[in-house]
C-alpha cells in the first residue's frame, strides 16, 4: 500500500478516502511507515506529532478537498498551536505558539492530516537545507549526494521520497521553486499577497516572501491555492482578484501566448548546457502547442535588485536573531551565515533598509514594463545548473555577501527565482528536464502581476502534454526510465 499510495497525487488519495477504499488512519500509518523507512536517508521529516494527527482524525476531519490526506508543514513559519517549531535554528528550537496562523487554519480546513514538519535552513536564506539543529543535511531522494534545495528542502525531499503526496513550503527567493526543480516536483509562487501572512507577521521580507506548496501535480497546487487564497484580517495589502479559480483555470488551456525564452541568466551569463537544453526542449513543446516563442532577455536592473534583496534579508535576519538571543552569545546558537548577515546589517546606514525597499519596488516596475506590450510569459531555467552537491552551500561561512552574491554563490546558482519575489509576479518551476546523471532540472515560467490563473493554466497544459506523474525518485521506488 505504501508504494501504491506514493504513486498518487493528493487529489487521487483523497478520492480513495471519499470512496472508502482507504481510511485516514490507514493513510497516516502508511505515511509514518514511510518516514521510518525512508527518512533516515534524507533527513527531511522532523518534530513528528503522531498523537496530534490521531486526535484530529478521531475528532472528525473537515470535509475539505483533501480529507484524510497526510500532510507536513515546513519548519519555518506556518505557526500552529499543535506543532512546535525549530524554525531551522538551534536558537529557536522548540518554539511554541499561542494561536494558529491564518495559513495553517486554511490548510487544516482542507481536511489534511498534519503529523509533523519538514526541515529548513536557518532563517530560510539558503538554496540548500543543512541546518545544524537537525543533526545533518537534508538530501535529495534522486541522489543523496545532492541537495534537495532550500529553503523548503525538507518539503521537497519528503514529497519526492513518497512520504507524503504534497507538503507546505514558502518562497522568499525561490524557496518553493528551488526544491521543486531539485526534486522533480511542481512548485508555484503566487502573486504577492495572494496568501495570508498573519497574524504573526504583516509581510515577509518586505513582501517578497509568500507561502506555497510542493506537489506532484498541478491540480493539487491549484486546489490548495483556492482553499488558502485571500487576505487575512488586517492584511496591509492584497493581490488583485482572480477572474476565476485556480481549479477552474486548469480545466481548459489558456489562450495562445507570446513567450520570451531566455537561455542565459537575466544578466547574460551562460548556464549549464544540460539545463539550457532542457529549457529549449520546453520552448519547442510550447511551440508545438501553438504558443509563439521568441528569444529575449528582460530589461531590468537585476544586480541592483539582488543587492537590495540581500540587504533586506540581512536586516531581517539580524532583527529576528537579536530578538531571540536576549543577550546570549550567538556563537553557540546561531550558524555562520546568519552571524554574517547580522554583521552585514550592522554595516548598513540606518536609512539603507528603506532605500533597499524602494529599489525593490522600482525593480517591480521595471519587470512590469517587460510584460507591458511585450511577452505574456518568460521562460527560463529555474536553476543555472543541476542540483548541487551536499555541502556546497553549507551555512558555516560568515561571509554572508559572498555566500549570497559572490562568485560561486547562491545567486549564480539560482539567478532566476528571486527576480519574481522582488517583482511580486507569479512564477512556477515544472519538472520537464533531466541531467545526464538522472537529476531533475526545473523549467521556470513567469507572468505579469496578478495573472496566477493564466500561469497555472499554462502549467496544466504542459503537464498534459508532457506528463511527469509516473516519474519517481529511486528512494520512492521509481526511476526516470
Burial class (CB in 10 A: 0-12, 13-18, 19+), 214: buried
**CATH node for 2-476:** 3.90.1300.10
For residue 5, the model assigns a pLDDT of 66
pTM: 0.98
Average pLDDT over residues 410-416: 98
Is pLDDT at 11 greater than 90 in this prediction? Answer: yes
* Residue 101 designated active-site: no
d(CA 139, CA 130): 9
Instruction: Please confirm, yes or no, whether 175 is among the known catalytic residues.
Output: yes
Identify the active-site residue in 85, 175, 217, 423: 175
What contacts 11, CB < 8 A, 6 or more positions away? 65, 66, 217, 219, 220, 223
| Residue 74 annotated in active site | yes
**Phi and psi torsions of 409, nearest 5°:** -80, -175
Q: What is the mean pLDDT of residues 357-364?
A: 98
| Confidence at 4, pLDDT banded by 50, 70, 90 | low
Contact of 9 with 216, CB cutoff 8 Å: yes
Q: For position 243, what pLDDT does the model report?
A: 94
Question: pLDDT grade, residue 1 (50/70/90)?
Answer: very low
Write the CA distances from 444 to 89, 245, 259, integer angstroms: 30, 22, 12
How far the first Cα of the chain sits from its last, in Å, is: 22
7 confidence band (pLDDT: 50, 70, 90)? confident
pLDDT at 479: 79
Amino acid at each position: 500500500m505504501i508504494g501504491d499510495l506514493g504513486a498518487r497525487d493528493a487529489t487521487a488519495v483523497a478520492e480513495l478516502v471519499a470512496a472508502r477504499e482507504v481510511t485516514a488512519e490507514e493513510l497516516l500509518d502508511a505515511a509514518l511507515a514511510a518516514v521510518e523507512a525512508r527518512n533516515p536517508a534524507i533527513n527531511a521529516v522532523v518534530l513528528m506529532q503522531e498523537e496530534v494527527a490521531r486526535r484530529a482524525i478521531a475528532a472528525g476531519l473537515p470535509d475539505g478537498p483533501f480529507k484524510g490526506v497526510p500532510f507536513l508543514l515546513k519548519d519555518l513559519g506556518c505557526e500552529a498551536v499543535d506543532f512546535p517549531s525549530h524554525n531551522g535554528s538551534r536558537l529557536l528550537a522548540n518554539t511554541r505558539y499561542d494561536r494558529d496562523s491564518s495559513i495553517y487554519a486554511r490548510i487544516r480546513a482542507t481536511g489534511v492530516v498534519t503529523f509533523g514538519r519538514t526541515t529548513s535552513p536557518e532563517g530560510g536564506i539558503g538554496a540548500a537545507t543543512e541546518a545544524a539543529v537537525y543533526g545533518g543535511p537534508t538530501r535529495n531522494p534522486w541522489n543523496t549526494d545532492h541537495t534537495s534545495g532550500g529553503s523548503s528542502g525538507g518539503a521537497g525531499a519528503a514529497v519526492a521520497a513518497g512520504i507524503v503526496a504534497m507538503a507546505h513550503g514558502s518562497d522568499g527567493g525561490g524557496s518553493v521553486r528551488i526544491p521543486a526543480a531539485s526534486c522533480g516536483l511542481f512548485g508555484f509562487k503566487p502573486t504577492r499577497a495572494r496568501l495570508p501572512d498573519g497574524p504573526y507577521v504583516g509581510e515577509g521580507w518586505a513582501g517578497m516572501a509568500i507561502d506555497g506548496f510542493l506537489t506532484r501535480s498541478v491540480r493539487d497546487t491549484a486546489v490548495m491555492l483556492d482553499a488558502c487564497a485571500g487576505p487575512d484580517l488586517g492584511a496591509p495589502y492584497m493581490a488583485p482578484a482572480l477572474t476565476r479559480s485556480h481549479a477552474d483555470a486548469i480545466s481548459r488551456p489558456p489562450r495562445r501566448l507570446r513567450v520570451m525564452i531566455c537561455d542565459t541568466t537575466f544578466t547574460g551569463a551562460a548556464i549549464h548546457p544540460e539545463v539550457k537544453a532542457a529549457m529549449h526542449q520546453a520552448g519547442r513543446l510550447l511551440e508545438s502547442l501553438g504558443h509563439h516563442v521568441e528569444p529575449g532577455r528582460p530589461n531590468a536592473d537585476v544586480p541592483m535588485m539582488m543587492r537590495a534583496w540581500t540587504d533586506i534579508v540581512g536586516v531581517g535576519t539580524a532583527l529576528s536573531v537579536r530578538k531571540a538571543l536576549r543577550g546570549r552569545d550567538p556563537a553557540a546558537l546561531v550558524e555562520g551565515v546568519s552571524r554574517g548577515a547580522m554583521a552585514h546589517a550592522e554595516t548598513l546606514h540606518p536609512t539603507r533598509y528603506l532605500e533597499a525597499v524602494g529599489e525593490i519596488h522600482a525593480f517591480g516596475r521595471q519587470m512590469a514594463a517587460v510584460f507591458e506590450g511585450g511577452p505574456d510569459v518568460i521562460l527560463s531555467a529555474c536553476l543555472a545548473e543541476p542540483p548541487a552537491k551536499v555541502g556546497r552551500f553549507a551555512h558555516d561561512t560568515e561571509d554572508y555577501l559572498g555566500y549570497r552574491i559572490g562568485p560561486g554563490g547562491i545567486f549564480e546558482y539560482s539567478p532566476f527565482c528571486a527576480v519574481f519575489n522582488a517583482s511580486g509576479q507569479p512564477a512556477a518551476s515544472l519538472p520537464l528536464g533531466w541531467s545526464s546523471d538522472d537529476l531533475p532540472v526545473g523549467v521556470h515560467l513567469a507572468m505579469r502581476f496578478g495573472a496566477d490563473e493564466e500561469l497555472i493554466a499554462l502549467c496544466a497544459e504542459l503537464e498534459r502534454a508532457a506528463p511527469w506523474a509516473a516519474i519517481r525518485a529511486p528512494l520512492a521506488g521509481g526511476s526516470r526510465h
